[in-house]
Amino acid sequence: MSDLDLIIQRLELRGHRITGSRRRLLEAVVAAPAHFTVDDVLRLAPDVGRATVFRTMKLLLDLNVVCRVLMEDGSLHYRLSTRGHHHHLVCRSCGRVEDFATCDVSSLVGELARNTAYQIEGHWLEVYGRCASCRSLERAEVPV
């Protein structure tokens, strides 16, 4: 089953209609680069209204079909989500994004809940640095 078919099945199982516009938007999301912006989706599906794109992206986020990636420059990107709760490593040089699932912040979240009386419902973590490829390129460019 293709990514598109799986996404459509997931939406339908939760009672969401697959209109023509929504299908074109889903096709654009699947065809988009590894991480993409809402503007990328709008370019890939120019006949889909802006409001439909934003509403559907929110729905896809809520259903964990896509996840958000906050780039270091502050721009918000999305990518298809292949796993449950996870976070991202973002290369500051090339923009590469990798997922990681190890997240040992449960004690911090518990402490925050106790100290603030918040009912913590989630968290979002991005880690920025330079990937191995960019670091090796930098070393190659430095004269000896």
Q: What's the whole-model pTM score?
A: 0.74
| Signed CA dihedral, 111, 113, 117, 123: sign only | positive
**One domain for residues 102 and 74:** no
**One domain for residues 139 and 115:** yes
pLDDT at 143: 66
**One domain for residues 32 and 94:** no
In the chain, the number of structural domains is: 2
Nearest-CA neighbor of 68 among 24, 110, 118, 124? 124
Residue 107 confidence class, pLDDT cut points 50, 70, 90: confident
Give CA–CA dist 22/89, Å, rounded.
30
pLDDT at 134: 92
- CATH number of the domain enclosing 27: 1.10.10.10
Residue 141 confidence class, pLDDT cut points 50, 70, 90: confident
Give CA–CA dist 28/22, Å, rounded.
10
